[in-house]
Amino acid sequence: MRKHNFGAGPGVLPEAAIKKTQESLFDFNNSGMGVMEISHRSKDFDAVLQKAKSLVKELLHVPDTHEVLFLQGGASTQFAMVPMNFLKKKAAYIDQGAWSNKAIKEAKLFGEVEVIASSKDKNYSYQPKGYTIPADCDYLHICSNETIHGTQVKNFPASSIPVICDMSSDIFSRPVDVSKFDLIYAGAQKNMGPSGVTLAIIKKDIVGKSERVMPTMLNYKTHLENDSLYNTPPVIAILVCMHVLEWLKSIGGVEAMQKINQQKFDMFYNEVDSNPLFTGTAAAEDRSPMNACFLLKDASMDEAFLAKAKEAGIVGIKGHRSVGGFRASMYNALPVESVKVLVQVMKDFAKANG
Protein backbone atom coordinates (compact mmCIF):
# COMPACT_ATOMS: atom_id res chain seq x y z
CA MET A 1 0.00 0.00 0.00
CA ARG A 2 1.43 3.38 -1.00
CA LYS A 3 1.87 6.05 1.66
CA HIS A 4 0.23 9.44 1.77
CA ASN A 5 3.42 11.25 0.80
CA PHE A 6 3.54 14.90 1.87
CA GLY A 7 7.33 15.09 1.50
CA ALA A 8 8.80 18.41 0.38
CA GLY A 9 11.16 16.85 -2.14
CA PRO A 10 11.76 14.44 -3.63
CA GLY A 11 8.01 14.49 -3.73
CA VAL A 12 5.18 12.19 -4.71
CA LEU A 13 4.97 11.08 -8.35
CA PRO A 14 1.88 9.97 -10.29
CA GLU A 15 1.41 6.21 -10.11
CA ALA A 16 0.80 6.09 -13.86
CA ALA A 17 4.22 7.64 -14.51
CA ILE A 18 5.95 5.25 -12.11
CA LYS A 19 4.36 2.21 -13.73
CA LYS A 20 5.26 3.35 -17.25
CA THR A 21 8.84 3.91 -16.16
CA GLN A 22 8.95 0.51 -14.50
CA GLU A 23 8.11 -1.13 -17.81
CA SER A 24 11.14 0.56 -19.40
CA LEU A 25 13.74 -0.48 -16.85
CA PHE A 26 14.39 -3.91 -18.32
CA ASP A 27 13.47 -3.57 -21.99
CA PHE A 28 12.88 -0.11 -23.46
CA ASN A 29 11.00 0.06 -26.78
CA ASN A 30 11.80 -3.62 -27.47
CA SER A 31 15.48 -2.69 -27.73
CA GLY A 32 16.67 -5.55 -25.56
CA MET A 33 18.17 -2.94 -23.22
CA GLY A 34 16.81 -1.03 -20.26
CA VAL A 35 16.33 2.72 -20.50
CA MET A 36 19.31 3.22 -18.17
CA GLU A 37 21.50 1.36 -20.67
CA ILE A 38 20.59 2.94 -24.00
CA SER A 39 22.73 5.58 -25.70
CA HIS A 40 21.68 9.16 -25.18
CA ARG A 41 22.49 9.64 -28.88
CA SER A 42 20.06 6.92 -29.95
CA LYS A 43 16.82 7.54 -31.82
CA ASP A 44 14.92 5.98 -28.92
CA PHE A 45 16.18 8.52 -26.41
CA ASP A 46 15.97 11.44 -28.83
CA ALA A 47 12.26 10.66 -29.15
CA VAL A 48 11.95 10.85 -25.35
CA LEU A 49 13.82 14.15 -25.15
CA GLN A 50 11.83 15.78 -27.94
CA LYS A 51 8.53 14.56 -26.50
CA ALA A 52 9.42 15.89 -23.05
CA LYS A 53 10.36 19.27 -24.51
CA SER A 54 7.21 19.46 -26.61
CA LEU A 55 5.04 18.65 -23.60
CA VAL A 56 6.67 21.43 -21.57
CA LYS A 57 5.99 23.85 -24.41
CA GLU A 58 2.40 22.67 -24.84
CA LEU A 59 1.45 22.62 -21.17
CA LEU A 60 2.96 26.02 -20.37
CA HIS A 61 2.21 27.62 -23.76
CA VAL A 62 5.88 28.44 -24.22
CA PRO A 63 6.31 31.06 -27.00
CA ASP A 64 8.68 30.57 -29.92
CA THR A 65 11.02 33.14 -28.38
CA HIS A 66 11.96 30.61 -25.68
CA GLU A 67 13.62 27.19 -25.63
CA VAL A 68 13.39 24.29 -23.21
CA LEU A 69 16.57 22.84 -21.70
CA PHE A 70 17.15 19.84 -19.46
CA LEU A 71 20.18 20.47 -17.26
CA GLN A 72 21.91 18.88 -14.29
CA GLY A 73 23.04 20.17 -10.91
CA GLY A 74 19.65 21.10 -9.49
CA ALA A 75 18.37 24.62 -8.84
CA SER A 76 21.42 25.11 -6.61
CA THR A 77 23.68 25.14 -9.68
CA GLN A 78 21.31 27.61 -11.32
CA PHE A 79 21.97 29.98 -8.40
CA ALA A 80 25.51 30.32 -9.78
CA MET A 81 24.81 29.89 -13.50
CA VAL A 82 22.37 32.79 -13.55
CA PRO A 83 24.77 35.50 -12.36
CA MET A 84 27.70 33.92 -14.20
CA ASN A 85 25.81 34.30 -17.49
CA PHE A 86 23.79 37.47 -16.91
CA LEU A 87 25.23 39.62 -14.12
CA LYS A 88 27.40 42.30 -15.69
CA LYS A 89 27.36 45.09 -13.09
CA LYS A 90 24.42 44.75 -10.71
CA ALA A 91 21.42 42.48 -10.17
CA ALA A 92 18.23 42.89 -8.14
CA TYR A 93 17.16 40.08 -5.83
CA ILE A 94 14.16 39.62 -3.57
CA ASP A 95 14.93 37.96 -0.25
CA GLN A 96 11.97 35.62 0.23
CA GLY A 97 13.46 32.78 2.26
CA ALA A 98 16.12 30.11 2.47
CA TRP A 99 16.41 29.45 -1.25
CA SER A 100 16.53 33.13 -2.18
CA ASN A 101 19.28 33.51 0.41
CA LYS A 102 21.33 30.83 -1.30
CA ALA A 103 20.79 32.46 -4.69
CA ILE A 104 21.87 35.85 -3.32
CA LYS A 105 25.01 34.35 -1.79
CA GLU A 106 26.04 32.83 -5.14
CA ALA A 107 25.27 36.01 -7.09
CA LYS A 108 27.56 38.07 -4.87
CA LEU A 109 30.48 36.04 -6.21
CA PHE A 110 29.98 37.62 -9.63
CA GLY A 111 28.99 41.21 -9.04
CA GLU A 112 26.94 43.67 -7.04
CA VAL A 113 23.63 42.45 -5.64
CA GLU A 114 20.89 44.82 -4.55
CA VAL A 115 18.34 43.16 -2.27
CA ILE A 116 15.32 45.30 -3.08
CA ALA A 117 12.85 43.67 -0.66
CA SER A 118 12.86 41.11 2.14
CA SER A 119 10.47 39.30 4.47
CA LYS A 120 13.23 38.23 6.84
CA ASP A 121 11.83 40.51 9.56
CA LYS A 122 8.97 38.03 10.13
CA ASN A 123 10.88 34.81 9.45
CA TYR A 124 9.79 34.83 5.80
CA SER A 125 6.15 34.27 6.71
CA TYR A 126 4.95 36.58 3.93
CA GLN A 127 5.88 37.60 0.39
CA PRO A 128 7.40 41.10 -0.06
CA LYS A 129 5.22 43.54 -2.01
CA GLY A 130 5.26 47.14 -3.12
CA TYR A 131 8.95 47.26 -3.93
CA THR A 132 10.58 49.29 -6.69
CA ILE A 133 12.60 47.46 -9.34
CA PRO A 134 15.75 49.43 -10.24
CA ALA A 135 16.05 50.11 -13.95
CA ASP A 136 19.84 50.02 -13.79
CA CYS A 137 20.04 46.33 -12.81
CA ASP A 138 20.87 43.57 -15.27
CA TYR A 139 17.96 41.40 -14.11
CA LEU A 140 15.48 40.75 -11.31
CA HIS A 141 15.61 37.38 -9.55
CA ILE A 142 12.48 36.11 -7.81
CA CYS A 143 11.36 32.78 -6.34
CA SER A 144 7.74 31.92 -7.15
CA ASN A 145 7.15 29.61 -4.17
CA GLU A 146 9.05 29.42 -0.89
CA THR A 147 9.17 25.72 -0.04
CA ILE A 148 10.42 25.96 3.54
CA HIS A 149 8.22 28.78 4.81
CA GLY A 150 5.14 27.99 2.74
CA THR A 151 4.49 31.21 0.83
CA GLN A 152 3.81 31.86 -2.85
CA VAL A 153 3.96 34.89 -5.15
CA LYS A 154 0.39 35.44 -6.28
CA ASN A 155 1.08 38.25 -8.75
CA PHE A 156 4.42 38.61 -10.49
CA PRO A 157 5.75 42.17 -10.75
CA ALA A 158 5.77 44.15 -13.95
CA SER A 159 9.40 44.82 -14.78
CA SER A 160 11.36 46.86 -17.29
CA ILE A 161 14.41 44.64 -16.76
CA PRO A 162 14.72 40.88 -17.46
CA VAL A 163 12.99 38.65 -14.91
CA ILE A 164 14.51 35.35 -13.82
CA CYS A 165 12.41 33.05 -11.68
CA ASP A 166 13.08 29.96 -9.57
CA MET A 167 9.88 27.91 -9.94
CA SER A 168 11.25 24.69 -8.46
CA SER A 169 8.36 23.99 -6.11
CA ASP A 170 5.30 25.16 -8.02
CA ILE A 171 6.01 24.80 -11.74
CA PHE A 172 3.10 23.17 -13.63
CA SER A 173 0.80 23.81 -10.64
CA ARG A 174 -0.82 26.89 -12.20
CA PRO A 175 -0.74 28.76 -15.50
CA VAL A 176 2.04 31.33 -15.94
CA ASP A 177 2.77 33.73 -18.76
CA VAL A 178 6.17 32.44 -19.84
CA SER A 179 6.68 35.43 -22.13
CA LYS A 180 7.05 37.66 -19.04
CA PHE A 181 10.20 35.79 -17.96
CA ASP A 182 13.63 35.69 -19.57
CA LEU A 183 14.49 32.52 -17.66
CA ILE A 184 12.47 30.09 -15.59
CA TYR A 185 14.32 27.28 -13.86
CA ALA A 186 13.08 24.44 -11.70
CA GLY A 187 14.48 21.36 -10.05
CA ALA A 188 12.31 18.47 -11.21
CA GLN A 189 11.92 16.59 -7.94
CA LYS A 190 8.82 18.33 -6.65
CA ASN A 191 6.29 18.63 -9.46
CA MET A 192 7.85 17.18 -12.57
CA GLY A 193 9.96 14.09 -11.94
CA PRO A 194 12.81 12.64 -9.91
CA SER A 195 15.91 14.42 -8.68
CA GLY A 196 18.80 14.57 -11.13
CA VAL A 197 17.41 16.84 -13.82
CA THR A 198 16.59 20.54 -13.87
CA LEU A 199 14.25 22.29 -16.28
CA ALA A 200 15.17 25.65 -17.78
CA ILE A 201 12.91 27.68 -20.06
CA ILE A 202 15.09 30.40 -21.51
CA LYS A 203 14.55 33.30 -23.86
CA LYS A 204 16.87 32.56 -26.74
CA ASP A 205 18.05 36.11 -27.42
CA ILE A 206 19.57 36.60 -23.95
CA VAL A 207 22.03 33.73 -24.37
CA GLY A 208 25.68 34.16 -25.30
CA LYS A 209 26.00 37.88 -24.59
CA SER A 210 28.27 37.71 -21.57
CA GLU A 211 31.91 38.67 -21.98
CA ARG A 212 32.82 36.67 -18.90
CA VAL A 213 35.03 33.62 -19.38
CA MET A 214 33.11 30.71 -17.93
CA PRO A 215 33.28 26.91 -17.84
CA THR A 216 31.66 25.25 -20.83
CA MET A 217 29.11 23.35 -18.75
CA LEU A 218 27.99 26.50 -16.94
CA ASN A 219 27.24 28.42 -20.13
CA TYR A 220 23.60 28.33 -21.23
CA LYS A 221 24.80 28.77 -24.81
CA THR A 222 26.46 25.35 -24.64
CA HIS A 223 23.22 23.60 -23.80
CA LEU A 224 21.10 25.65 -26.19
CA GLU A 225 23.40 24.87 -29.12
CA ASN A 226 23.60 21.17 -28.23
CA ASP A 227 19.91 20.55 -27.53
CA SER A 228 20.65 19.60 -23.90
CA LEU A 229 23.01 16.89 -25.15
CA TYR A 230 26.46 18.43 -24.74
CA ASN A 231 27.26 15.68 -22.22
CA THR A 232 25.36 12.55 -21.19
CA PRO A 233 22.03 13.72 -19.78
CA PRO A 234 20.16 11.96 -16.95
CA VAL A 235 18.29 9.67 -19.34
CA ILE A 236 15.95 7.98 -16.88
CA ALA A 237 15.11 11.23 -15.09
CA ILE A 238 14.05 12.83 -18.38
CA LEU A 239 11.98 9.74 -19.24
CA VAL A 240 10.14 10.01 -15.91
CA CYS A 241 9.53 13.72 -16.56
CA MET A 242 8.05 12.84 -19.91
CA HIS A 243 5.66 10.35 -18.30
CA VAL A 244 4.69 12.85 -15.58
CA LEU A 245 3.93 15.48 -18.21
CA GLU A 246 1.91 12.94 -20.21
CA TRP A 247 -0.12 12.29 -17.07
CA LEU A 248 -0.61 16.01 -16.51
CA LYS A 249 -1.84 16.44 -20.07
CA SER A 250 -4.21 13.48 -19.68
CA ILE A 251 -6.02 15.11 -16.73
CA GLY A 252 -6.53 18.39 -18.55
CA GLY A 253 -3.18 20.15 -18.24
CA VAL A 254 -2.03 22.94 -15.98
CA GLU A 255 -5.41 24.68 -15.97
CA ALA A 256 -7.16 21.57 -14.65
CA MET A 257 -4.32 20.95 -12.21
CA GLN A 258 -4.76 24.40 -10.72
CA LYS A 259 -8.39 23.62 -9.88
CA ILE A 260 -7.41 20.36 -8.18
CA ASN A 261 -4.67 22.12 -6.23
CA GLN A 262 -7.13 24.78 -5.13
CA GLN A 263 -9.46 22.05 -3.88
CA LYS A 264 -6.66 20.53 -1.81
CA PHE A 265 -5.61 23.97 -0.54
CA ASP A 266 -9.14 24.93 0.52
CA MET A 267 -9.77 21.62 2.21
CA PHE A 268 -6.56 21.73 4.20
CA TYR A 269 -6.59 25.36 5.28
CA ASN A 270 -10.28 25.27 6.17
CA GLU A 271 -9.30 22.66 8.72
CA VAL A 272 -6.26 24.59 9.98
CA ASP A 273 -8.35 27.73 10.46
CA SER A 274 -11.22 25.98 12.21
CA ASN A 275 -9.32 23.44 14.30
CA PRO A 276 -8.69 24.79 17.83
CA LEU A 277 -5.36 22.98 18.18
CA PHE A 278 -3.63 24.17 14.99
CA THR A 279 -2.51 27.42 13.40
CA GLY A 280 -0.89 28.33 10.10
CA THR A 281 2.48 30.11 9.94
CA ALA A 282 2.22 31.97 6.62
CA ALA A 283 0.29 35.19 6.05
CA ALA A 284 -3.16 34.15 4.81
CA GLU A 285 -2.91 36.10 1.54
CA ASP A 286 0.44 34.51 0.70
CA ARG A 287 -0.22 30.89 1.65
CA SER A 288 1.23 28.36 -0.77
CA PRO A 289 -0.96 25.62 -2.25
CA MET A 290 2.20 23.53 -2.62
CA ASN A 291 3.72 23.75 0.85
CA ALA A 292 1.42 24.33 3.81
CA CYS A 293 3.24 25.12 7.06
CA PHE A 294 1.32 24.76 10.29
CA LEU A 295 1.85 24.36 14.04
CA LEU A 296 0.20 22.82 17.03
CA LYS A 297 -0.45 25.64 19.48
CA ASP A 298 0.93 23.34 22.16
CA ALA A 299 4.25 22.09 20.77
CA SER A 300 4.47 19.42 23.46
CA MET A 301 1.84 17.50 21.46
CA ASP A 302 3.93 17.38 18.27
CA GLU A 303 5.24 13.84 18.69
CA ALA A 304 1.80 12.49 19.54
CA PHE A 305 0.35 14.05 16.39
CA LEU A 306 3.18 12.68 14.24
CA ALA A 307 2.50 9.23 15.68
CA LYS A 308 -1.19 9.46 14.74
CA ALA A 309 -0.27 10.62 11.24
CA LYS A 310 2.11 7.70 10.86
CA GLU A 311 -0.63 5.26 11.90
CA ALA A 312 -2.76 6.66 9.06
CA GLY A 313 0.02 6.07 6.52
CA ILE A 314 1.07 9.72 6.34
CA VAL A 315 4.75 10.53 5.79
CA GLY A 316 6.81 13.66 5.24
CA ILE A 317 4.91 16.22 7.33
CA LYS A 318 7.56 17.17 9.88
CA GLY A 319 8.36 20.86 9.43
CA HIS A 320 11.71 22.33 8.51
CA ARG A 321 13.85 23.15 11.54
CA SER A 322 13.74 26.89 10.77
CA VAL A 323 9.94 26.96 11.05
CA GLY A 324 9.16 23.99 13.27
CA GLY A 325 5.84 22.25 13.53
CA PHE A 326 4.62 20.60 10.34
CA ARG A 327 4.69 21.03 6.58
CA ALA A 328 2.25 19.35 4.22
CA SER A 329 3.60 19.52 0.68
CA MET A 330 0.66 19.04 -1.65
CA TYR A 331 2.35 18.73 -5.02
CA ASN A 332 0.46 17.99 -8.23
CA ALA A 333 0.64 14.21 -7.90
CA LEU A 334 -0.62 14.11 -4.31
CA PRO A 335 -4.18 12.72 -4.49
CA VAL A 336 -7.07 14.66 -2.99
CA GLU A 337 -7.72 11.54 -0.93
CA SER A 338 -4.39 12.00 0.87
CA VAL A 339 -5.42 15.48 1.97
CA LYS A 340 -8.74 14.08 3.20
CA VAL A 341 -6.84 11.55 5.31
CA LEU A 342 -4.62 14.23 6.86
CA VAL A 343 -7.60 16.47 7.59
CA GLN A 344 -9.39 13.58 9.28
CA VAL A 345 -6.35 12.85 11.45
CA MET A 346 -6.32 16.51 12.51
CA LYS A 347 -10.04 16.39 13.34
CA ASP A 348 -9.65 13.18 15.33
CA PHE A 349 -6.61 14.54 17.15
CA ALA A 350 -8.50 17.66 18.18
CA LYS A 351 -11.46 15.58 19.36
CA ALA A 352 -9.20 13.38 21.46
CA ASN A 353 -7.15 16.22 22.92
CA GLY A 354 -9.48 19.20 22.97
Tally Cβ neighbours within 10 Å of residue 333.
Answer: 22
Same domain, 134 and 201: yes
pLDDT beneath 70: ranges in the chain: none
Same domain, 205 and 305: no
Catalytic residue among 99, 138, 182, 247: 99
- Domain CATH number, residue 221: 3.40.640.10
pLDDT at residue 1, rounded to an integer: 81
CA dist list (Å): 219 to 111, 165, 206, 229: 17, 18, 12, 13
Same domain, 87 and 23: yes
Annotated catalytic residue 105 = no
> Which of 221, 250, 279 finishes a domain?
250
Q: Which amino acid is at 60?
A: L
Same domain, 304 and 320: yes
Per-residue burial over 17-55, b = 16 or more CB atoms within 10 Å of its CB, e = otherwise: bbebbeebeeebeeeebebeebebeeebbeebbebbbeb
Same domain, 60 and 140: yes
pLDDT at residue 322, rounded to an integer: 85
Per-residue burial over 277-295, b = 16 or more CB atoms within 10 Å of its CB, e = otherwise: bbebbbeeebbbbbbbbbb
Same domain, 197 and 287: no
> Which of 222, 250, 278 finishes a domain?
250
Instruction: Tell me how far the alpha carbon of residue 214 is from its chain's centroid.
Output: 27
pLDDT at residue 315, rounded to an integer: 98
Catalytic residue among 166, 170, 182, 286: 166
1 domain-assigned: no
Annotated catalytic residue 166 = yes
The number of folded domains in the chain is 2
The span from the CA of 113 to the CA of 99, in Å, is: 15
Same domain, 136 and 280: no
Look up the pTM and report it. 0.97
9 domain-assigned: no
Helix pair angle (43-60, 253-274), 10° resolution: 60
pLDDT at residue 163, rounded to an integer: 98
Q: Which domain holds residue 48?
A: 15-250
7 domain-assigned: no
What's the burial of 255, exposed, middle or buried (CB within 10 Å: 0-12/13-18/19+)?
Answer: exposed
Same domain, 19 and 113: yes
pLDDT at residue 76, rounded to an integer: 97
Same domain, 235 and 326: no
3 domain-assigned: no
**Local structure of residue 157 (DSSP, 8 states):** P
Same domain, 118 and 240: yes
92 domain-assigned: yes
> Which of 227, 250, 273 finishes a domain?
250
pLDDT at residue 40, rounded to an integer: 94
Catalytic residue among 53, 182, 190, 286: 190
Radius of gyration of the chain from its Cα atoms, rounded to whole angstroms: 21
